[in-house]
Amino acid sequence: MQELFIEVEENVKLYVRDSGGKEDVLVFIPGFTFTSEVFQHQVNYFSSNYRVIIIDPRSHGKSTTTVHGNDYVTHGMDLHMVLQSLGLTNVHLVGWSFGCLTVWEYVKQFGSDHLKSTTFIDMPPKSLSVNENDWVEGNLDDMAHVYHASLRDEKGQKEFIKSYSENVMIQRNLTNSELDWIIGQSLLTPPHVAASLFASGLFSDYRTEAQQLSTEIPTLFIIAKHWSDVAKPYLKQLASKADIEILGGHMMFWEYPERFNALLKEFLA
């Protein structure tokens, strides 16, 4: 894949890898503090039939780390700059976790005219709610604890990602090398940036955009099994025309790549 650094504003460049060569464009956006490396199994699988593009968001991975713009409003603008710089239209956008917020924010600002489909991997459009029947990231006390206790320094971030990986992201037991790799990907984003992104994500509300997309273009939600009993009825009411699939844990595309890729391939077709 060709490696690019695309300037989205002065002195801020995003690291982008582009397989090129195809008319149908498939863009993957990673989640909170993670990098494009998590989509290795999707790149290998889809590059034969799609122009696959993977992005390290601002302050993630090999992209510029900044002290400003570490929020999903800016990330939506950054995505627009990448698509515009590459001259991309008729794009299939795939967001994972907080990467879904980037997609929804892009649609909020720029609409869906240049999109062919959207896929959202395991992320509610509104992270917090006082309604106990809503699908959310977690209760307020737990999220506040993560923000204040876990994202204050690198040690806290490491412990949080380790626990989240072992209990939410992956269903099987990870090897030490696998766990070290996952944690290492996250720690490429500094704790002070992670805290800003966490707060931005928790206080986002993209229910309008989720509903809008389900009526405008083909839309797929792939949801982790552990909260499917809440997420599925919630999405059926909010985005009634969207497709919904249930698979694995939060990082199911990495743990179960063959099953995930088959679901996405069928949807794209």
- Mean confidence (pLDDT) of the chain: 95
**15 forms bridges with which residues in the sheet?**
5, 56
Nearest to 261 by CA among 222, 228, 225, 235: 222
Mean per-residue pLDDT, 185-204: 95
Examine the pLDDT at 149 and tell me if it is beyond 80.
no
In angstroms, how far is CA 252 from the centroid of its own chain? 12
Mean per-residue pLDDT, 146-153: 83
- 3-state SS, 170-221, equals CCCCCCHHHHHHHHHHHCCCCHHHHHHHHHHHHCCECHHHHHHHHHHCCEEE
Mean per-residue pLDDT, 190-205: 94
Tell me what percent of the residues of the chain surpass a pLDDT of 70. 100
The Cα 108–Cα 216 span in angstroms is 13
Q: Which residues contact 117 (CB under 8 A, 6 or more apart)?
A: 92, 93, 217, 218, 219, 220, 267, 268
Q: What is the pLDDT of residue 152?
A: 84
Examine the pLDDT at 163 and tell me if it is beyond 90.
yes
Least confident of 50-54, 132-136, 247-251, 253-257: 132-136
- pLDDT, tens digit (0-9, with 9 covering 90-100), for 227-243: 999 999 999 999 999 99
The tokens describing 212, both together, are 């809008």
Q: What is the pLDDT of residue 246?
A: 98
The count of domains in the chain is 1
| Secondary structure of residue 262 in the 3-state scheme | helix
| Secondary structure of residue 16 in the 3-state scheme | strand
Mean per-residue pLDDT, 169-194: 96
- In whole angstroms, how far apart are CA 184 and each of 9, 35, 134, 178, 179? 27, 10, 33, 10, 8
- pLDDT, tens digit (0-9, with 9 covering 90-100), for 53-83: 999 999 999 999 999 999 999 999 999 999 9
Is the pTM higher than 0.85?
yes
Q: What is the pLDDT of residue 57?
A: 98
Q: What is the pLDDT of residue 131?
A: 87
Q: What is the CATH number of the domain that holds 36?
A: 3.40.50.1820
Q: Which domain holds residue 252?
A: 2-268
How many CB atoms sit inside 10 A of residue 7's CB? 12
